[in-house]
Amino acid sequence: MTPMGPEREHYWRVQRMARAAGADPAAVWAAGGLDAGSWRALVERCRGCPWSAGCARWLARAEGTDHDGPIPPPGACVNSDALTALARHTTEKDRPE
């Protein structure tokens, strides 16, 4: 079993991964498409993910390059499907820049 990572670090990691995927969790929350339990589950899954080092490298590359539009989360991300769904719930006007 992978030890749980620091909650604050993984909260922000999920935020960064969501942004890269084109999701705006706050906008989805405001629209009723995300509740506290679901958000907490995303962070908790991230905290226990064995791909933490790979995630940090992936995010650094994703945030350090110019790209047109969102980047799908990598398959190794334990929240890949959930973040992709959040991105679908994020309207074009709500997409992070």
pLDDT tens sequence across 49-87: 999 899 999 999 998 888 788 999 999 999 999 999 999
- Alpha-carbon span 78 to 26, nearest angstrom: 20
**Residues with Cβ < 8 Å from 75, sequence gap 6 or more?**
none
- Alpha-carbon span 56 to 72, nearest angstrom: 15
What is the reported pTM? 0.87
* Spacing of C-alpha 55 from chain mean position: 10
Determine phi and psi for 37, rounding to 5 degrees: -65, -40
Tokens of 10: 């993984």
